Structure 1
Amino acid sequence: MFRGLYTATSGMMANNRNQQILTNNLSNANTPGFKQDQTVLRSFPAQLIKAMGTGNNSATQNRIGTLNTGVYAQEAIPSFIQGALKDTGNRTDISILEDSLPINPVTQQKGTIVFAVQIDNNEVRYTRNGQFTVNQDGFLTTSEGYNVLNQNLQPIQVNSSEFTVEDNGRVILNDGSNTNRLWLGYTEEPAQLIKEGHGLMRWGGNPAETPQFIDEVGLLNNTGSFVKQGFIEQSNVDLTQTMTQMMNTFRAFESNQKVIQAYDQSMEKAVNEIGRIY
């Protein structure tokens, strides 16, 4: 009798987690470069059900089938579909373009490209938010003050906002010098990038398979552009779809709640009536 109670409870917990993820997506709908998370729901391991009273010999027992006793929210996986580009006219705004990326013949999916930045402990993190600025020392930084890195994973000094970024990420300063290129890293497994907040991501997969500079994976043989100056990539959150998913999740939560209420009423009746001694 209590098996259904546990199943409905797990459904409430899974829907609650899904609602939290959808709410976070909605709150970041205007965050440049934000990638919406998608909830992965999985069922608990199936249990084999057998008929009672058929003996202890497993060969003679009548197997009824399998039963799943609930679901759980395993993880949130970012969707790296490119967001729409917004023309800002700001020379420090740089967006990543993925139209020319190859499709993996095995997975039939594109990889993704990311910028590299340096956080406070000098570790490297990745981001899709190209809403950059120039700090007081003339270095190109994120809006949180993290240094944007070049092809050698070193900070890029541009001195002023009067610089040009070519399609392949080459940075040309106001005096015509071009010793730096934006570090543009490519990976075929973007799901291994783990969000850390402030638009930053760290690599959570095999350390030997971290995103590689586009030159090292031969992407420069493509004729397409990889970056576009004066534009920012907007969030890829679909507001209408997200609101619809939140309503459906709320209804599913309510449905599981009503199942629990029904079980509660059944148990109350069992205690007060069936167990009564005449």
Structure 2
Amino acid sequence: MNSGIYAALSGNLSAQRRLDVISNNLANSNTSGFKADQIQFESVLANVKNPTQQAPVFSNDRYSTDYSPGAMQRTENALDVALDGDGFFVVNTPQGPAYTRQGNFFRSQAGRLVNADGFEVQGSGGSIAIGGGKVEIAGNGEVVVNGATVGTLSKVDFPKPYQLTKIGGGLFVPANPQAAPAPTQASVKQGYLESSNVKVVVEMARMIEASRYFETCAKAVKSYDDMTAKAVNELGKV
């Protein structure tokens, strides 16, 4: 088959994956602490090492995450917290510790501080019991309930550039399981949430660009298909 049609099909696949990433970014434009993703492509010839194989031309896609901070949004909710500076909160999942910028925490039925998925938020001494009292959280992460200190929010950071993997629910884990986090000096702001860092106007422009690229590649595929059909019909008359 003409290699040109493989390139056009690869363009379609690349554009579709890019549209998927953009759509996810836009869907999370109002999700607190969400970090936008981007995708880049490197075109490769799949049969470059073995020209006898008629393997298609595809693209290697590389995903990256924009870790720039979102804007601070005041909520007045005592259990909403945001980090002013680099770093992450720590939550305990069934698979181990995970890290997040989403500070919309809750009080569990057991009186523990948990995230939206019910995972316990970790403090310097483990989970934090807040009971049913009035909660105050200081800039250093110290949690005070009815005037008594019950724990201190764990705040950690990793070397940059970050080598983290998204696992859903606004959570990250190190790509290297052996990577150890270090304490961060970022301050905690009670009654605030960090907004998503998705730039809606930019993402919409990227969506239009990717959609047009998809349409162009689709037209190219049709053109190659028409040429192939015409060639077959002409050869059949010979």
Same fold judged by TM-score > 0.5?
A: yes
Aligned-partner Cα distance in 2 for 1:212–1:44: 39
TM-superposed CA distance for 1:45, in Å, is: 5.2
**Where do 1:1-278 residues align within 5 Å?**
2-44=2-44, 70=57, 72-98=59-85, 112-119=86-93, 121=94, 123-152=96-125, 154-160=126-132, 162-175=134-147, 177-189=148-160, 191-205=162-176, 207-214=177-184, 219=185, 225-277=186-238
Aligned-partner Cα distance in 1 for 2:139–2:108: 24
User: CA offsets, 1:202-238, max 9 Å, x none?
Assistant: 2212x33232223xxxx4xxxxx52211000111111
Q: Which has the higher strand share?
A: 2
Name the count of aligned residue pairs: 231
The TM-score with structure 2 as length reference comes to 0.89
User: CA offsets, 1:100-138, max 9 Å, x none?
Assistant: xxxxxxxxxxxx41111012x261111111000112222
Aligned-partner Cα distance in 2 for 1:75–1:211: 25
Amino acid at match of 2:138: E
Residues 94 and 230 in structure 1, CA contact (< 8 A), matched pair in contact too:
yes
TM-superposed CA distance for 1:161, in Å, is: 5.6
Aligned-partner Cα distance in 2 for 1:275–1:12: 31
Q: For the pair shown, which has the larger CA radius of gyration, 1 or 2?
A: 1
Amino acid at match of 1:264: D
TM-superposed CA distance for 1:196, in Å, is: 1.3
TM-superposed CA distance for 1:184, in Å, is: 0.6
Aligned-partner Cα distance in 2 for 1:272–1:137: 75
Runs of 4+ in 1 over 6 A off after TM superposition: none
* Unaligned 5+ runs, structure 1: 49-68, 99-111, 220-224
SS of the equivalent of 2:237 reads coil
Residues 29 and 237 in structure 1, CA contact (< 8 A), matched pair in contact too:
yes
User: CA offsets, 1:234-274, max 9 Å, x none?
Assistant: 11111111111111101001111111111111111211124
Percent of counterpart pairs with the same letter?
Answer: 32
* Unaligned 5+ runs, structure 2: 49-55
Amino acid at match of 2:63: A
Residues 16 and 214 in structure 2, CA contact (< 8 A), matched pair in contact too:
yes
Residues 151 and 213 in structure 1, CA contact (< 8 A), matched pair in contact too:
no
SS of the equivalent of 1:268 reads helix
Amino acid at match of 1:118: N
User: CA offsets, 1:78-97, max 9 Å, x none?
Assistant: 21110111100011000011
The TM-score with structure 1 as length reference comes to 0.77
Aligned-partner Cα distance in 1 for 2:150–2:130: 10
CA RMSD of aligned residues (A): 2.1
When residues 85 and 161 of structure 1 are mapped into structure 2, their CA distance, relative to the original with a 3 A threshold, is: farther
